[in-house]
Structures are given as C-alpha cells and as structure tokens.
Amino acid sequence: MHWIDPESLPEIRGEVVRFLLNPHGEIDGFVLDSQQIHFPPHLANKLARHVATGEVVRVRGVKPRGANMLVAVSILTQSGVLILDEGPHHDGQRPPKPHIERKPMEASGGVVLSLFGPKGELRGALLDDGTSLRMPPHAAAELASYLAPGAHVQAWGSGVRNRHGRTIEVDEIAELVDAPSPA
C-alpha cells in the first residue's frame, strides 16, 4: 500500500508478541498484543533485522472490514527505525518465492487468534503453542468455526519451522470436541 500516506492513518502501539509466517516460511506479520498485523513479504528481511519479540512498536495501517487485523503501511521500531511499505522493487516481475522444503507436520491445540489475508479474508488460525495454520480463503470460509478463538483443533499438512516460528499449510483439520476447557 505504497500509495497511502502513513501520516494520514491512525497509529496503534503495542508489544510484538510473536512473528507470523506464510507457507513459504517468510515473515508476513506479527501479533501486536492480541491483534494481527499483516505486511507484505518484501518487508520481512528489514523487519527481522530491526524488530524483536518483546519490543514495543508503533504501526500505522489500514483495517479491513470484519477482520481483527491491521495491514501495516508503516512500522516505527523501538529504536526509531521507520519501515515503510513502498511496494516491491522488482520492475513488474514478481520475485520468485523462496525454495523452502516443507515437511509433513501436525499440530493440535486451542485457537487463540483467527488469521486473515491482506484484504481481510480469513486464512487460518494461530494456536496456543504459536503454530500458524494457513489455508486458502475458500477453505477457511467453509471451516470458519474451526479457526475461531476458543476452538480446539488438530491439523495435518506440510510445514516450515525456522527461528521466527512454525507454520503449517493445512491439508486436513479436525475439531477436538473432547479437549479440556480453559480454567
């Protein structure tokens, strides 16, 4: 959203709780307190160099309708570095996706946050162990109750784990109906 003046947008401030990974293992967001902040993958390397979990940042962005998230246009780090989304610099060519070997993975746990794409479309969930579950929007829409906070699920698919987190591109998901209730 490089055409939007970030100074015209409201600002939120909070602590970076964890990074979120896309299915290619790239950082494409973080959890700020209890809200998802999304940004495009071309900002991932710069953000990883200048922001760590536990740090307080200021974010200016756009909130899609019906989604508890913000699409970042600018991020001001705790050390004063301004990270702006000025669009990808690739002369009209899409950069190749990084070749990350995904491995079969599974995860189970309680959903703490629904995850959305940049236009506010439901795309997955964040589990209580920090695992991101990702799926295409049409599948997520059909499985919305499985991806809502408070649901307990088990998911299988192919995934990536790196120093920033773990994400699984979901092939199968089941609701755990006999999961213990939070105390």
Contact by Cβ (8 Å): 123, 29:
no
Strands annotated E in the chain: 11-21, 27-32, 35-38, 56-62, 69-76, 82-84, 103-116, 122-127, 131-134, 152-162, 165-175
Per residue in 100-146, pLDDT (tens digit) is 788 999 999 999 999 999 999 999 999 999 999 999 999 999 999 99
Per residue in 38-61, pLDDT (tens digit) is 998 889 999 999 999 999 999 999
Note the pLDDT of residue 173: 97
pLDDT band at 70 (very low <50, low <70, confident <90, very high): very high
The stretch 9-26 carries a mean pLDDT of 93
Domain with CATH 2.40.50.1010 in the chain: 9-84
- Residue 54's region, left for phi above 0, alpha for psi from -120 to 50, else beta, is left
Question: 142 — phi, psi (to 5°)?
Answer: -70, -25
- Cα Dmax for the chain: 53
- Of 135, 115, 12, nearest to 62 by C-alpha is 12
Domain with CATH 2.40.50.140 in the chain: 103-175
Residue 97 in this model has a pLDDT that exceeds 70:
no
pLDDT band at 94 (very low <50, low <70, confident <90, very high): low
State the chain's mean pLDDT as an integer: 91
Range 103-175 classified under CATH 2.40.50.140: yes
Residue 171 in this model has a pLDDT that exceeds 90:
yes
Q: What is the CATH number of domain 9-84?
A: 2.40.50.1010
Rounded to whole angstroms, the Cα distance separating 132 from 123 reads 10
**Residue 88: Cβ within 10 Å count:** 15
CA atoms within 13 A on the CB side of 138: 0
Q: Which of 1-5, 29-33, 83-87 has the highest mean pLDDT?
A: 29-33
In terms of residues, how long is the chain? 183
| Residues above pLDDT 70, as percent of the chain | 90
